[in-house]
Structure 1
C-alpha cells in the first residue's frame, strides 16, 4: 500500500463513493474536500456500539461476517463472539493500517497489560517500542511503512500512541475543537466523566453544555456543511441528518448531544469517555469496548487470525465472493452517502452472497430506513425489516449520534 497521494486507486474509489455532483458546484467541491479527508485517519475509534451490533446479529460459531471497518473497534469486538470469520473493507489507507495493527496486537503483544497500554491508554511512553519489538516484525511492509511514516515534524505516526491516539484523526480534532470552544464559554467538559448518576449528568448538560451549544459560534458552525467533516458527515449525509428536525441542524446536534450525555450512565458508556475525556478511563476500571476488556483478551487473541481487511468498496469485495457464503453484513452508515444506483448494486451483491437467514445491520443519520422506494422491490422483497426490534436496538446504542438503527434478515 502506498501513501494516499501516490495511490490513484484509492482516490478513484473514494471519489466513486462520495462524489455525486459536478466539481464546479458548491456541493461537488465539498464532496471532493470530504473525499480528501478520508485519505487520512478519520476515526481513531469507531462510533457504532458493537454490543448493540452483536445483539442484533446473534453471531454464532459458523457465521461469516462482512463489515466496513472504520476504526476497527467493531471487527475486534465481534471476535469476542467467536465467529467463523470477519472480513472487513475500508477505503481509507489509514484505517487499513490501523486495523492490521489491531489484528496483530493481541497475538504478538506479551499480555493484556501491554494490549491495554497500546489501545486503552494509548498515551504511554514506550508504546512505540512495543510496536518496534513485538508488532512490526509480523506486519506487512505497507502497514509498517505507514506507522513509520513521518507525521509533520513531530516524528513517526506510531508516536500517536504515546501522545493520546484518540485525540488524532478528523474526529479527534473535531472533539478537541469542541473542548476549546467549551472552555471559551467557561466549561470544562472533562468534568462530565465525574458525574455520579444520571441526575448529575442531566444537570451538567442543562447548566453547562446546552448554553455553550446555543452560543452564536456553535450555531454558525452547524450551518456550515464542511464544519462537520470531522464527524465523518459528507454533504449528502448532512441533509439527511438535518431532516430529522425539519432542516434544523442545530436542533439535531443538540438532541444527539443530550442523548449521549443523559440517556446512559457515564460509568457504562465509553463513548461518553471518548467525547468528554478524549480517551478511555486510564485506570482500566471504566467502560471499555468489548475487545479491550480484560476478561475477553484470551478470546480475542485466539480469534484474531479470523479477521482480515481489504482496501476495497464493499460492493466490489462482495462481487468476488461466492454465492450464499455470508451470514452477517455490517454497513455502518455508508448507505447514507449512496445514490440509488449504488444502493441497488450493493444490495444485488448482498442478496446474491447471503445465506438463508442472513442479517444486515446499518445506521442512518435520519430516523427512517432509507431503502424502500430506492432499492428495487425485487431485491428488497426478499428481506424482512424488523421495525420494532430496530427501534429497540437504536435506543440501546450508547454512541447516540445516529437517528436510526436498522436490521434486515433474508427470508428462507
Structure 2
C-alpha cells in the first residue's frame, strides 16, 4: 500500500467531517513527504520505562529512525519498526546501512552526526548506496527541489531538511524577526544561564500578538507532525491560551536539562548536533553504544504498514515491548480499540507499552473498552516522573502500561 493510502487511513476516521475534514485532508497531503529526519522522543526515557531483558521482541514506530536504532543497545531479539511514511523508512534504512557498512565509528559520526561534510558523498557512494533497500534507494537517488539527489542532504546539514528541520529554520527566522535569538541559548554554561538566556532572548516572543495568532492556527503546526485531532487535545490543555502552553514546553526543553546532555536542544537551538561532546549526541550515535548497535544491526526490521496490520500477523504472546510515539492522538475510539485488541492478544506476560500524548491525559482511560483496559495497569504518578525525564520536552504526557 502507498504512503498516501496508509496516511489517509490513519488520519481520516469517524471525526473527519466539516472543517476538520478539510484540515485532515491538508494534513494527510502535508505528512506524505519526509517530516522527521530525526525523532523527537527520548529513547533513554523509553528504555528506563521498559527495563527490557535481553532477547525482547520490540515494536516501535520508525519516524526518523533514531530510537529504533537506540533500542538495539538493549540486546533485543528483534526491533520491528513500522511507519506509514516510506520517506521515514528510507531515513531509517540509510542510518542502519551507514552503521553496518561504514568502516568505523568516526565515519559513522561524520555521516550521521555532522551530516554536512563533503566527504559524505564518497562515503555514501562507496559504502552505502549498493546496500539500500529498493524503496530507500529510489528515495535517496531521486532529486530534491535543489536539483541534486537527496543523498546530498548528508553533505549539507541533513537534519535541516524534512518538514521539521525546515520548521525549526523558520522558527529561528521568526524569533529574530520578533527581536529574539534562539541560538543564544547555546552560549549558556549551566542551567542558571540557560534560564536567563531563555527569558531574555526567547520567552518574550511567545507574548507577541503575532505569535498568539499563529499559535491558534492548526495549519502552522503541520510541519511538527501535529494533526488536527492532536491540535484539539492541545487546546483542551491550554486553559490560558496555546501561546502559554507552547512557551512552557519550550521552557522545559531550554531550561530543565543541561545542554551538553540534550541532543534535542542542540537541534532546536543550534540546528545541528554537537559532535565534539558525546553526551550531546543522540543515543544511537554515542560511541559507548556503537559496537553493540553494529553487532545487533541486523535485528532491526522495517515494515511499511500500520501498527494494527503488523500485529495482526504476529503470534499470540510474542511481543515484549511496544512504543507508539504519539500515534494514538491521531486515532478515534474504533482505531484505538482495534489496535489494543491486537496489543493485548500479542503481548507476552508483563509486556509493556510506552506512548506520548500531546495533552496530559492518556486516551485509553475513556476510549478503550473495559474488557481491554482491565488487562493492563498504569501508574499516573510514575508516568509523571517518566515525562519529566523526556528531554525532547514537546509532549504533554508520557505513559507506561503493563500487561497484568
TM-score by length of 1: 0.95
Q: Which runs of 5+ in 2 are unaligned?
A: none
1:24 & 1:246 partners in 2: Cα distance? 25
Residue of structure 2 in register with 1:126 after alignment: 119
Aligned length: 404
Asked if residue 406 in structure 1 is aligned to residue 399 in structure 2, the reply is: yes
Alpha-carbon distance change, 240 to 86 in structure 1, aligned in 2, over 3 angstroms: same
Residue of structure 1 in register with 2:38 after alignment: 45
8-17 or 42-51: bigger deviation: 8-17
Residue of structure 1 in register with 2:324 after alignment: 331
Residue of structure 1 in register with 2:291 after alignment: 298
The Cα offsets for residues 140-196 of structure 1, whole Å up to 9 and x where unpaired, read as 222112101000133010111111011111111111111001111233322211201
TM alignment of 1:102-141, pairs within 5 A = 102-141=95-134
1:237 & 1:15 partners in 2: Cα distance? 16
Asked if residue 163 in structure 1 is aligned to residue 156 in structure 2, the reply is: yes
1:285 & 1:352 partners in 2: Cα distance? 40
2:371 & 2:15 partners in 1: Cα distance? 31
Q: Is the 8 A contact 2:49 2:400 kept in 1?
A: yes
RMSD, matched Cα? 1.4
TM alignment of 1:173-252, pairs within 5 A = 173-246=166-239, 248-252=241-245
Asked if residue 264 in structure 1 is aligned to residue 257 in structure 2, the reply is: yes
1:92 & 1:9 partners in 2: Cα distance? 8
Alpha-carbon distance change, 245 to 153 in structure 1, aligned in 2, over 3 angstroms: closer
2:133 & 2:85 partners in 1: Cα distance? 17
261-270 or 400-409: bigger deviation: 261-270
Match of 1:35 among 24, 28, 31: 28
Alpha-carbon distance change, 28 to 300 in structure 1, aligned in 2, over 3 angstroms: same
Q: Tell me how far 1:286 sits from its aligned partner.
A: 5.2
Residue of structure 1 in register with 2:268 after alignment: 275
Q: Is the 8 A contact 1:73 1:291 kept in 2?
A: yes
1:20 & 1:396 partners in 2: Cα distance? 33
Match of 1:367 among 360, 376, 395: 360
Residue of structure 1 in register with 2:11 after alignment: 18
1:74 & 1:51 partners in 2: Cα distance? 9
SS of residue in 1 equivalent to 2:202 = helix
1:295 & 1:234 partners in 2: Cα distance? 36
1:268 & 1:302 partners in 2: Cα distance? 25
Q: Tell me how far 1:10 sits from its aligned partner.
A: 2.3
Residue of structure 2 in register with 1:5 after alignment: none
Alpha-carbon distance change, 323 to 247 in structure 1, aligned in 2, over 3 angstroms: farther
Match of 1:92 among 75, 82, 85: 85
1:400 & 1:143 partners in 2: Cα distance? 30
Residue of structure 2 in register with 1:254 after alignment: 247
SS of residue in 2 equivalent to 1:372 = helix
1:248 & 1:370 partners in 2: Cα distance? 22
2:150 & 2:10 partners in 1: Cα distance? 27
The Cα offsets for residues 96-131 of structure 1, whole Å up to 9 and x where unpaired, read as 101111121111001111101111101111212211
2:30 & 2:53 partners in 1: Cα distance? 36
Match of 1:387 among 375, 380, 386: 380
Q: Which runs of 5+ in 1 are unaligned?
A: 1-7
196-205 or 334-343: bigger deviation: 196-205
Q: Tell me how far 1:245 sits from its aligned partner.
A: 2.0
Q: Tell me how far 1:93 sits from its aligned partner.
A: 1.0
1:51 & 1:208 partners in 2: Cα distance? 29
Q: Is the 8 A contact 1:20 1:28 kept in 2?
A: no
1:109 & 1:272 partners in 2: Cα distance? 27
Q: Is the 8 A contact 1:80 1:290 kept in 2?
A: no
The Cα offsets for residues 275-314 of structure 1, whole Å up to 9 and x where unpaired, read as 0001111434451111100121111100110001111000
TM-score by length of 2: 0.97
1:272 & 1:112 partners in 2: Cα distance? 23
Asked if residue 54 in structure 1 is aligned to residue 67 in structure 2, the reply is: no
Asked if residue 346 in structure 1 is aligned to residue 346 in structure 2, the reply is: no
